Homo-oligomer: A and B are copies of this chain.
Amino acid sequence: MKASGLARASATELARRIHAREIRAIDVVEDCLARIAEREPAIHAWAFLDPDRARGQAHVLDAGAIRGPLHGIPIGVKDLFDTADMPTAYGSPIYTWHRPAWDSACVAAARACGAVVVGKTVTTEFATFTPSTTRNPRGYEHTPGGSSSGSAAAVADEMVPLGFGSQTVGSIIRPASFCGVVGYKPSFGTLSRAGVKLLAESLDTLGAISRTVEDAALFVGALTGREELMSLPAVPKLRVGFCRTHDWNQVQPEVGEAMEAAARALAAAGAQVMQVALPQDFAGLGDAHGDILGYEISRNLAHEHAVHGVRLSSRLRELLEASRQVSSARYDRARLLARACRMGFAGAIDECHVLVTPSTTGEAPPGLDSTGNPVMNRVWTLLHVPCITVPVARGPLGLPVGLQVVGRFADDARTLAAAKWVHERMGN
């Protein structure tokens, strides 16, 4: 049996073939490890790798019964998620070689479903804005985005089919878009955060990076026991709201045009496309997001700031110090607005099944010193609604541009089905 090419296959396809015993977990893992060995020196997607441990897990799986829907599937785990058998540094020199006492709930769930943890993928410093050295596989001199930089780059570069990500501002959607892959930020609270370093409890959302929408849905469906994600519903005539958001003025003209072209193409493909403007009070959500993030992150990283302040990047230290100025009154006002807008969102998008909107303001900017602008993501994160980015175009530099499909809270299955429909017709 020839294993070559498995690293490029989808998780869904691999799972089907492993379940049918056509291929073995070790075949898939060896192919991924070979791809990693070839590409990692250029990409720097991994914070920690342990090939022999991955091989050992694969052999154990091959020798036993099928454990679950992810049996034998290699995954990358963002280095913000605790692992009992691998160091977890949260992207900070403070925790180099820190070894947690447990697997995070999501990693334990993935292992219980049969996934093989290949290693830890690079995160920016505590999933904030200070990048590591990961490169964008689509353009080495460009940022892969962040904070889930390593998971996006590893999946885009066909090192693994699935990676864990987390998003507090735009940390799943933005890197997935910049690297030309699929990113799925589920409805808030879908995946447990136990054993994942908390930044902002009101915002932090765990999710998946993959190359197909079906794979992201399979991953999250398996972890949560959600059958409706593991086999997505059929899409009837899709009603799509094209939403410019209150931050449209920050979108680069070429991306704006690509979005308009995508909307026309969706209509040509049979979707009913209408314009949707978010209500005026949603315009305050960007600032509200900043206030909530500031109030919470300055408390959640208080130990690191107090005890290890000199080992924080100056960018993060300044953010934490500025954030201490957010009063509890400002925080409460921001939370009230968020709560009201969450309640109003389902009504505000009217008869649409989903919205479409840019995933980012542009393609991945040049340079590795910034992870790009998350302004197109923060409002959806605060609204707690499911978001999926799919690559649909190329920017002026030839790099990927993503379309973001946004659904109602807890309507993940339909939102994913819509994103799959879009990706299959417009994938780029």
Q: A: which residues have CB within 8 A of B?
A: 84, 95, 98, 101-105, 107-109, 111-112, 189, 192-195, 197-198, 201-202, 224-227, 296, 299-300, 302-304, 306-307, 327-328, 332, 335-336, 343, 410
Shortest CB distance A229–B (Å): 9
Chain B residues within 8 Å of A307, by CB: 84, 103
Q: In this complex, which of A103, A104, A225 has the most chain B Cβ atoms within 10 angstroms of its Cβ? A: A225
Shortest CB distance A332–B (Å): 7
Chain B residues within 8 Å of A296, by CB: 192
Can you report 5 residue pairs joining A to B where beta carbons are below 8 Å apart? A103-B302, A108-B299, A111-B306, A112-B306, A332-B410
Shortest CB distance A198–B (Å): 4
Closest 6 CB pairs of A and B: A108-B302, A194-B198, A194-B300, A108-B303, A103-B303, A102-B303
For the complex formed by this chain, how many copies does it contain in all?
2
Q: Is there an interface contact between B302 and A112, defined as CB atoms closer than 8 Å?
A: yes
Q: Is there an interface contact between B189 and A202, defined as CB atoms closer than 8 Å?
A: yes
Shortest CB distance A26–B (Å): 22
Chain B residues within 8 Å of A84, by CB: 303, 307
Shortest CB distance A186–B (Å): 12
Complex Cα distance A299/B206, Å? 14
Complex Cα distance A193/B200, Å? 10
Instruction: Tell me the nearest residue of chain B to A198, going by C-beta.
Output: B194
Q: In this complex, which of A101, A107, A332, A335 has the most chain B Cβ atoms within 10 angstroms of its Cβ? A: A101
Instruction: Tell me which of B98, B201, B327, B343 contacts A225 (CB under 8 A).
Output: B327
CB-CB under 8 A for A328 and B225, given A303-B102, A303-B105, A307-B84: yes
